[in-house]
């Protein structure tokens, strides 16, 4: 009969214990049992993101996607990758791990929208010095929620426990998203852009996942604690106000994109309104902003 993984592992442990040094993965700081417990805990989370084209089941060496089942006829594949940045330091310091997964998904899928692509599949990379199963589960639960908002299937990922690489309690995240767009619907169609086209801005939920090295320095200089009342957000602590998850724009934009009503879309991230819009405009056009057209959010 085929031996189970547990039986193989136990036999291997017995062999190592007979050796003079007796070293094991556990002795080196890698908890295999914790890794397996995490996989079992997140399987139903991934399954909840099932969509046409992907069943979102974990365990294989790779993930498959059926583009025909998703309704595509002549698609181009679009890929993006991103992270959450030092917003994770606030999550670690305050124990607020439930929404950074939404941030991770948002930063990737919003980039897809700028190409006119529909999010299809998402994968995550979670790296830490010591795996805390419940913390990681909460992070992945946020990733699954972000995937549901974006309509993408969470099809896999990697959890890396690397003793000595990170400080106590620290972890880092990276996300990878695959989308698709019909060949004749790729954004931006530069030849259709004209002077006088209307520029519309969709509101953010806050700083999203940008500028947190500066934000953390400002908070440090202010002398405020994360549990203190936010001076700009009545009824919220500083952590609650600054940890609002990045807005996912898929539901707002995909119907308009598919209807052919959008000539360009720019995801406003680190470069702000100065650097990002020019990336999607024809070389002889410039975006003109009416800076008085919207109230500045109190956070800023």
pLDDT > 90? residue 297 = no
Compute the distance between CA of residue 166 and CA of residue 170 in angstroms, rounded to an integer. Answer: 6
Over the chain, what is the mean pLDDT? 93
Residue 88, strand partner residues: none
**Where does the pLDDT of residue 19 fall: very low under 50, low under 70, confident under 90, or very high at 90 and above?**
low
pLDDT in tens, 129-149: 999 999 999 999 999 999 999
In whole angstroms, how far apart are CA 10 and each of 13, 22, 34, 35, 166?
5, 14, 16, 16, 29
Instruction: Work out the average pLDDT over 244-264.
Output: 97
pLDDT > 80? residue 5 = no
pLDDT of the residue at 278: 95
pLDDT > 60? residue 267 = yes
Are 38 and 159 in contact by the 8 Å Cβ rule? The answer is yes
pLDDT in tens, 210-221: 999 999 999 999
**Where does the pLDDT of residue 55 fall: very low under 50, low under 70, confident under 90, or very high at 90 and above?**
confident
pLDDT > 60? residue 1 = no
Instruction: Work out the average pLDDT over 21-35.
Output: 84
pLDDT > 70? residue 87 = yes
- For the chain, what percentages of helix, strand and coil (3-state, to nearest 5) are there? 35, 15, 50
pLDDT > 60? residue 229 = yes
**Where does the pLDDT of residue 59 fall: very low under 50, low under 70, confident under 90, or very high at 90 and above?**
confident
Compute the distance between CA of residue 296 and CA of residue 273 in angstroms, rounded to an integer. Answer: 14
What percent of the chain is modeled with pLDDT above 70? Answer: 93
pLDDT of the residue at 12: 63
pTM reported for the whole predicted model: 0.91
């Amino acid at each position: 009969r085929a031996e189970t993984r547990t039986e193989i592992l136990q036999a291997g442990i017995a062999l190592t214990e007979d050796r003079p040094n007796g070293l094991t993965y556990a002795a080196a700081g890698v908890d295999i049992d914790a890794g397996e417990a995490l996989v079992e805990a997140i399987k139903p989370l991934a399954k909840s993101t099932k969509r046409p084209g992907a069943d979102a089941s974990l365990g294989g060496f790779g993930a498959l996607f059926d583009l025909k089942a998703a309704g595509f006829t002549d698609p181009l594949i679009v890929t993006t990758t991103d992270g959450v940045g030092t917003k994770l330091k606030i999550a670690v310091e305050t124990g607020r791990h439930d929404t950074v997964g939404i941030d991770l998904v948002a930063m990737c899928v919003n980039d897809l929208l700028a190409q006119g692509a529909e999010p299809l599949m998402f994968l995550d990379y979670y790296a830490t010095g010591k795996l805390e199963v419940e913390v990681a589960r909460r992070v992945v639960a946020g990733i699954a929620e972000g995937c549901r908002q974006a309509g993408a299937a969470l099809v896999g990922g990697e959890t890396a426990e690397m003793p000595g690489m990170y400080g106590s309690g620290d972890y880092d995240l990276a996300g990878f998203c695959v989308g698709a767009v019909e060949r004749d619907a790729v954004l931006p169609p530069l030849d259709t852009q004209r002077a006088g086209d209307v520029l519309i801005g969709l509101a953010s939920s806050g700083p999203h996942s940008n500028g947190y090295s500066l934000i953390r320095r400002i908070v440090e200089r202010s002398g405020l604690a994360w549990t203190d009342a936010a001076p700009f957000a009545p009824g919220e602590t500083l952590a609650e106000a600054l940890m609002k998850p990045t807005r996912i724009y898929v539901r707002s934009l995909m119907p308009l994109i598919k209807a052919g009503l959008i000539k360009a879309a720019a995801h406003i991230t680190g470069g702000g309104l100065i650097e990002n819009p020019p990336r999607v405009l024809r070389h002889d056009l410039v975006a003109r902003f009416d800076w008085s057209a919207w109230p500045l959010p109190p956070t800023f």
